[in-house]
Homo-oligomer: A and B are copies of this chain.
Amino acid sequence: MSVKPRPLAPQIACGDCQIRHRAVCARCDGDELRALEEIKYYRRFEAGQTLVWSGDRMDFVASVVNGIATLTQTMEDGRRQMVGLLLPSDFVGRPGRARAPYDVTATTDVMLCCFRREPFEAMIRETPHLAQRLLEMTLDELDAAREWMLLLGRKTAREKIASLLAILARRNATLQARAGSGGTITFDLPLTREAMSDYLGLTLETVSRQISALRRDGVIHLEGKRHITVPDMNRLLSEAGDDSDGGLVD
């Protein structure tokens, strides 16, 4: 249980940063960036590591630079629900709160750009660009959370799986900048079956069965356990129950 010395990564100039235009700092001008450079430092985590435990003191907030992390809540008897999926440029922590309300776990290797909390809170108060961007990001997260609530409360297991795959596919599509809506899309699952079950409010057995079912029905193709091909995105979307089109299965 001994903790390795925290891996501090070398400083990167904000100007060279991959997430410069999507993270909290997106709207900051030159002076503001320089102020941020003063209070930032990088930390690297390995896949599987817990970055923060629920209830822990957090004296930083951070942007995810690369990798994927999750927020999860756990009940006393061990039931777990993922409540956040953090991708590059997403924000971790809450200004004005010292204790973490959720476990934060790295599902892949993760690099964080951390800001010491106190000076960051001061900047929020003083530089409107930072506060405005954070507000915008928080509103987006709230919308995502509400979409997620519909999934958890009302969708069937099959629809849940299809929805998650659609989210991941769409994300990869924007990165690959292809596939208007109908084309073939390919990506790797960044989550284990267990993590997927925590996301979807299912058991891992049900996740596995439904993935198999979608494969049998030709909605997706699988190579190995993790590599997924979606031959027809519209088909996947209609399986997800989201429908832009009208569910024209037959």
Question: A-side interface residues toward B, CB under 8 Å?
Answer: 71, 73, 75-76, 79-81, 83-84, 94, 96, 101-102, 124-125, 128, 131-132, 134-136, 138-139, 141-143, 145-150, 152-154, 200-201, 241, 243, 246-247
Contacts and interface: CB of A to CB of B under 8 A. Distances in A.
B71 A146 contact: yes
25 contacts: A73-B147, A73-B149, A75-B150, A75-B154, A76-B243, A76-B247, A80-B154, A81-B153, A81-B154, A83-B150, A96-B136, A96-B139, A102-B146, A125-B132, A128-B128, A131-B135, A138-B139, A138-B142, A142-B142, A145-B145, A145-B146, A149-B149, A152-B152, A153-B200, A154-B201
B101 A149 contact: no
A241 B81 CA distance: 14
Interface of A is mostly: helix
A83 B145 CA distance: 9
A64 B247 CA distance: 37
A147 B125 CA distance: 28
Given A135-B134, A145-B142, A146-B83, A153 B201 contact: yes
A191 to B, nearest CB: 15
Contacts of A83: 146, 149-150
A142 B90 CA distance: 14
A124 B83 CA distance: 29
Copies of this chain, whole number? 2
Given A83-B146, A83-B149, A128-B128, 13 more contacts: A73-B147, A75-B150, A75-B154, A80-B154, A81-B150, A101-B146, A125-B128, A134-B135, A138-B138, A141-B142, A145-B149, A149-B149, A154-B201
A25 to B, nearest CB: 16
Contacts of A147: 73
Nearest to A146: B83
Contacts of A96: 136, 139
A84 B241 contact: no
Interface centre among A102, A145, A150 (most CB of B within 10 A): A150
A73 B143 CA distance: 11
B150 A84 contact: no
A24 to B, nearest CB: 12
A247 B75 CA distance: 12
A168 to B, nearest CB: 18
Contacts of A132: 124-125, 131
